[in-house]
Chains A and B, each alone.
Chain A
Amino acid sequence: MSTQKEKDRLELLQGTLDLLILRTLIFGPQHGQGIARAIQQTSEDELLVEHGALYPALQRLEERGWIAADWGTSANNRKARFYTLTRVGRKQLVKETTKWRRLAAAIGRVLGPEAGKG
């Protein structure tokens, strides 16, 4: 967790945070801090998620009914608000994932084959 590393991290594109949250929740209920950690870890620390920015996104997803939330107890016995993926959310995840893959592929095609790694 050094400052050095943080500077190299990628900033998230707008709208992608929602997708990442939904994806993270596919493994089961998780609290906000857990989600933030999971995104960082699964992206091998490449993505920068400002933890505070996570909450408006969670709020939004909850209002849309894609995720549900309730207070529960964490592994180390702390009270935390746990988020679960709903059925609608699951469908949305499939949709968003396909969309994202197509977008990424398209951008990749535009940018051309990777020039020699630096």
Chain B
Amino acid sequence: MFWRKRKQSDFVAEVEAHLELETEQLKAQGLSEEEARRAARRAFGNVTQAQERFYESRRWLWWDHLVQDLRFGLRMLRKNPGFTAIAVLTLALGIGANTAVFSVAYAVLLKPLPYNDPARLLRIYSANARSGGDRWMNSPGDIAFVRRMSSDFKGITYFQEGDATLTGIGNPEMIRTVTVAEDFFSALGVPPAEGRTFLPKEHTQGRDQVLVLSDALRRRVFGSRAAIGQTITLDGRVYVVVGVMPAGFHFPWTEPPVKTDIWLPWSFPFDPASGNRDVAAIARLKPGVTLRQAEAQLAALRFSLVRAFPNDADWKLRLVPLQEDVASDVRLPILIIFGAVSFVLLIACANVANLILARGVVRQREMAVRTALGAGRVRLIRQLLTEGALLSLTGGGVGLAIAVCGIRALRSTATTAIPRLAEVQLNGPVLLFTLASSLFVGLLFGLVPALPTSNPALRDGPRNALVATGGGTRGRSLNRFLLITQMALSLVLLIGAGLMVRSFLLLTSVNLGFQPDSVLTFGTDLSGANYSSPDRRASFYQQTLDRIRAVPGVESAALASSLALTGGIGVAVRIEGRPTPQRGDETNVTYQAITPDYFRVMRIPLVRGRFISPSDGKDTSAVLVVNQAFVRKFFPGMDPLGQRLYGGMGGDKRREVVGVVGDVREEGLAIGPSPEIYVPLFQAWVSPGMAYVVRTRAEPLSLAPTIRREILDVDKNQPIAQIQTMEQILYGASAPPRFRTELLSLFSLLALVLTAVGLYGVTAYLVSQRTHEIGVRIALGAPPVRILILVLRESAVLIGAGILLGLVGAMGLTRIVSTLLFEIKPTDPATFLFVSSLMLGVGFLACYIPARRATKVDPMVALRYE
């Protein structure tokens, strides 16, 4: 059992020494050298035997036994290729699925971020106790205060994300930028690959035209030329490259197609009193300080914070480990899916254990013989465990191949659903997980059947066991227990998947309020120096819209502040003639500045009044259109037309409601419409960032190159970005729920199939056990129906028990998925009923086939069975 403490050679040396000593003593007594040597040897006895005994008392024995067990196990597996193939395949499916999902869980949830000591990095958010939401950005005041007062952090740094137009490298491009505070790079602890990061003096206006590049952009712009000291033009301003970050460095984490490529120094004054919430912040914990301690300190500081900013009494700072923040949206789905594949593996295990149990009848005789020949119980169990480990390790090996395919499939289908997807791979930790789970599984189903088959009672009656035809009752009740567990587990999975599917169907069938087909969308950013005046922006928009409309295949084109489904802009409006609300967001509405054709492009229906028309210009009276949700909230049972609103980015200017349109899902699929106002763009502030929507007669993306050329014709330095169809946006919005629904459905179906196979196998086995009895019954004249009922009755009890147990389990467990469900409860009766009936049907089918075979038993053969 132990690794040898003493080497064989040490023992040999001891024996040598013994013989020498003895010889010398005998010589001293007067014997000749030759005689003394012989006498010493004689007195010692058999030297070889002594060495053998030493050998046996040491580890080599268990090693020998292991080799023996392995050899024997391999022979057993080879002798039963059918059993081996089914068992290995079942295990491979279970282990493969687990490995694939673990590789995702590891990359997304466990693998440290590529920063120095990433475990100490936290993201700081603001949470609002009144209006809800706990991932708001922070006010400069809060951050300045915490930076000054808190002692638990080694550093608190802040940044702001933005876009900029990159020109001078072929076509103009829109690039993601991050403007960072002084200690940003030191907080992350990643040094630049080339050059340096920002100097303190570069965080002042006038000296801030420097930047740090990502490795990817550096390669694209400069290739193999030196980058440091070169210049790059952003929004018409010239910046000097002072540093390049190493490849693989990202911050903040963004979804795959979007990447942060440029870091700029924060140089504008940090105004603690501004009251805006536009500062993103990260902090690094001091060594030895825990997250709890830091949270407690923040809570203690909150009192003075509220005194300093009484208007912000509802706000509270929140700390989230950076690692958790990156994966916050997928954490729960991944854990749920991981739970689901663990269930699949357990079901696979139960199947294999059942197979082994069924074979146990044969093995029982073998075990009885071995016991009779003197094999100890421990030795028998070891043999069974070795065989189990052999099976599960083979299964694990095949499972790895399945996992490789699975990972490849995951990476190609989950593109937008999972962060850090590029890091999902088979690596050391994942392989270790596979090995550990294989061994665990081998132990599990190796031990379960070991319980009845290595029963020491056999020792007393090997003869009985030799002639016995039936498995022990213990074996059979174990069969039943495993089956019921299996069915319960897969029912829980199926119900979980059923809920997800139903919720997904509900989600994708929501009324969007617009028609997403044949619409091309893209964005611009006119923040450069050329477009500093709203008039110039307006003229750019007008010119480009005219040109796009003239492109063959384009039906209509318009602009909007934000695209449907991607989140809107919130403003507060006031209604003329009503008291000003005291505080809060009673009049918070979604704001869209649009050009007149917007409703036609999106096919948003008119409910009352009129759309915005081209004649609603700068010089005509100010108008707006509201949606039905607005009417429901602010003018219930009243005529909204003719009402006048003000506020909402328009200051005191009064706007008259001229029309009511249908509700549109602006925030996302799962978020119901909120009150919304549409104002004519050219009667409002003309924003530098607008979205184009173009309804086409042809395939929308086929027109993209032509449209891009038309826009470059208007301004050769103006890029367009994020060209995609409205349907792509729609698909993207449903990608995360689609992904988790598909995965969970896949795994629950796998569980169902495995369970059905298990049920089939065990019923067939039970039938074969009763062949004799059934033969007698048929011989005595029992009609086939009776036989069928006889067999099915037993299975019905099992299926019933399994389903009952599963329903109870599902009641408890589906609560976990409740936050992922859309518009249905986790105890949705329809899903429970449907899935249970499915399980019942599949279960009966799996039993019916062997039961039917039982009715065909030839009584003569059955009676001669023994």
B39 adjacent to A1 (CB under 8 Å) = yes
How distant is B541 from chain A, measured CB to nearest CB, in Å? 91
Q: Given known contacts A52-B49, A55-B14, is B26 in contact with A78 (CB within 8 Å)?
A: no
Q: Which residues of A contact B17 (CB under 8 A)?
A: 31-33, 78-81
Is A110 close to B, CB under 8 A? Answer: no
Report yes or no: B44 in contact with A50, Cβ–Cβ below 8 A: yes
In whole angstroms, how far apart are the Cα atoms of A79 and B24 in the complex?
A: 13
Closest to B39 in A: A1
Beta-carbon contact of A55 and B21 below 8 Å: no
The answer to whether B18 touches A51, judged by C-beta atoms less than 8 angstroms apart, is yes
Q: Given that A51-B43, A52-B47, A81-B17 are contacting pairs, would A1 and B29 also be in contact in the complex, using a CB cutoff of 8 Å?
A: yes
Nearest CB of B to A53, in Å? 6
Q: Are A52 and B54 in contact (CB under 8 A)?
A: no
State in angstroms the CA–CA spacing of A81 and B11 once bound together: 9
Give the interface centre of B17, B20, B24, B54 by most chain A CB atoms within 10 Å: B17
A50 touches B45 (CB 8 A): yes
Residue pair A31, B54 in contact (C-beta under 8 Å): no
User: Please, which residue of chain A has its CB at the minimum distance from the CB of B45?
Assistant: A52
Q: Indicate which residue in B24, B29, B31, B44 contacts A51 across the interface (CB closer than 8 Å).
A: B44
Contact of B21 among A1, A52, A74 (CB under 8 A): A74
Looking at the assembled complex, report how far the CB atom of B32 sits from the nearest CB atom of chain A, in whole angstroms. Answer: 13
A32-B50 Cα distance, complex, nearest whole Å: 13
Identify whether the interface residues of B are mostly helix, strand, loop, or mixed. helix
Contact present for A37 and B49 (CB under 8 Å): no
Collect the chain B residues with CB atoms within 8 Å of residue A59's CB.
54, 57
Contact residues of B between 39 and 68, Cβ < 8 Å to A: 39, 43-47, 49-50, 53-54, 57
Contacts of B25 in A (CB 8 A): 33, 37
Chain A residues within 8 Å of B46, by CB: 52
Report if A56 contacts B (CB, 8 A): yes
**In this assembly, does A4 line the interface, its C-beta being within 8 Å of a C-beta of chain B?**
no
Which of A37, A55, A59 has the most chain B CB within a 10 Å cutoff? A55
CB <8 Å contact, B57 and A80: no
* Contact present for A33 and B18 (CB under 8 Å): yes
Interface string of A94-111 (1 = CB under 8 A from B): 000000000000000000
A interface residues, how many (CB within 8 angstroms): 21
Interface string of A30-41 (1 = CB under 8 A from B): 011110110000
Q: Does A76 contact B (CB under 8 A)?
A: yes
Contact A32 B47 (CB under 8 A): no
Interface membership of B22, Cβ < 8 A? yes
Among A34, A37, A81, chain B packs the most CB atoms within 10 A around the CB of: A81
B44 nearest CB neighbor, chain A only: A51
CA distance A26 to B17 in the complex (A): 22
B497 CB to closest chain A CB (Å) equals 57
Q: Across the interface, name the chain A residue whose C-beta is closest to B49.
A: A52
Which residues of A, 36-83, contact B by the 8 Å Cβ criterion?
36-37, 50-53, 55-56, 59-60, 74, 76, 78-81
**A60: chain B residues within 8 A (beta carbon):** 57
**Would you give the shortest CB distance from B699 to chain A, in whole angstroms?**
82
The proximity string for A residues 16-31 relative to B, scoring 1 for CB distances below 8 Å and 0 otherwise, is 0000000000000001
A50 engages B54 (CB within 8 Å): no
1/0 per residue B1-23: CB within 8 Å of A? Answer: 00000000001011101101110
The smallest C-beta distance from B76 to any residue of chain A, in angstroms, reads 35
B18 and A56 form a contact (CB under 8 A)? no
A81 to B44, Cβ gap below 8 A? no
Closest Cβ of chain A to B679, distance in Å, is 91
| Residue in A51, A55, A76 whose CB lies within 8 Å of B54 | A55
Q: Which chain A residue shows the least CB distance to B48?
A: A52
Q: Closest B-chain residue to A80, C-beta based?
A: B17
- A55–B47 Cα distance when bound, in Å, is 10
Q: Complex formed: what's the CA distance from A63 to B178 in Å?
A: 68
Verify B22–A80 contact, CB threshold 8 A: no
CA distance A69 to B514 in the complex (A): 89
Q: A1-B39, A74-B21 are in contact. Are A56 and B50 (CB under 8 A)?
A: yes
B39 with A80: CB separation less than 8 A: no
Q: Are A33 and B21 in contact (CB under 8 A)?
A: yes
- Give the chain A neighbours of B43 by CB distance below 8 A: 36, 50-51
Write the chain A residue with the least CB distance to B57. A59
Alpha-carbon distance A52/B13, docked complex (angstroms): 14
Residues of A within 8 A of B47 (CB): 52
Q: In residues 77-111 of chain B, which contact A (Cβ within 8 Å)?
A: none
Q: Is B14 a contact partner of A32 (Cβ separation < 8 A)?
A: yes
A113 to B782, CA, bound (A): 82
**Shortest Cβ distance from B26 into A: residue:** A1
Q: How far is the CA of A58 from the CA of B29 in the complex (A)?
A: 27
Query: Which residue of the partner chain, among B18, B31, B45, B53, contacts A31 with CB atoms under 8 Å?
Result: B18
A50 vs B20: C-alpha distance when bound (angstroms): 16
Measured in the bound complex, the distance between the Cα atoms of B24 and A50 in whole Å is: 18
Q: Are B50 and A34 in contact (CB under 8 A)?
A: no
Which single residue of chain A is at the shortest CB-CB distance from B53?
A56
A32 to B22, CA, bound (A): 10
Is A51 in contact with B14, judged by CB distance below 8 angstroms?
Answer: no
Min CB distance A114 to B, Å, is: 32
Q: Are B15 and A55 in contact (CB under 8 A)?
A: yes
Known interface pairs A33-B18, A51-B45; A76-B24 also in contact (CB < 8 Å) = yes
Q: Which residues of B contact A51 (CB under 8 A)?
A: 18, 22, 43-45
What separation, in Å, do the CA atoms of A31 and B49 have in the docked complex?
20
CA of A34 to CA of B24, assembled, Å: 12
- Assembly CA distance A106 to B31 (angstroms): 43
**What 0/1 readout, one digit per residue, does chain B (332-376) give for beta carbons within 8 Å of chain A?**
000000000000000000000000000000000000000000000
Known contacts A1-B39, A55-B50: A78-B21 contact under CB 8 Å: yes
Q: Which residue of B lies closest to A56 (CB)?
A: B53
Inter-chain pairs besides A52-B45, A55-B54, A78-B24, 17 sampled, C-beta below 8 Å: A1-B26, A32-B17, A33-B17, A37-B25, A50-B43, A50-B44, A52-B44, A52-B47, A52-B50, A55-B15, A56-B53, A74-B21, A76-B24, A78-B17, A78-B20, A78-B21, A81-B17
Measuring CB to CB, which residues of chain A are less than 8 angstroms from any residue of chain B?
1, 31-34, 36-37, 50-53, 55-56, 59-60, 74, 76, 78-81
Which 5 A-B residue pairings sit nearest by Cβ, starting from the closest? A52-B45, A33-B21, A51-B44, A52-B50, A50-B45
Chain B contacts to A: CB under 8 angstroms: 11, 13-15, 17-18, 20-22, 24-26, 29, 31, 39, 43-47, 49-50, 53-54, 57
What are 30 A-B interface contacts by the 8 Å CB criterion? A1-B29, A31-B17, A32-B14, A32-B17, A33-B21, A36-B22, A36-B43, A37-B22, A37-B25, A50-B44, A50-B45, A51-B22, A51-B43, A52-B46, A52-B50, A55-B15, A55-B50, A56-B50, A56-B53, A56-B54, A56-B57, A60-B57, A74-B21, A76-B21, A76-B24, A79-B13, A79-B17, A80-B14, A80-B17, A81-B13
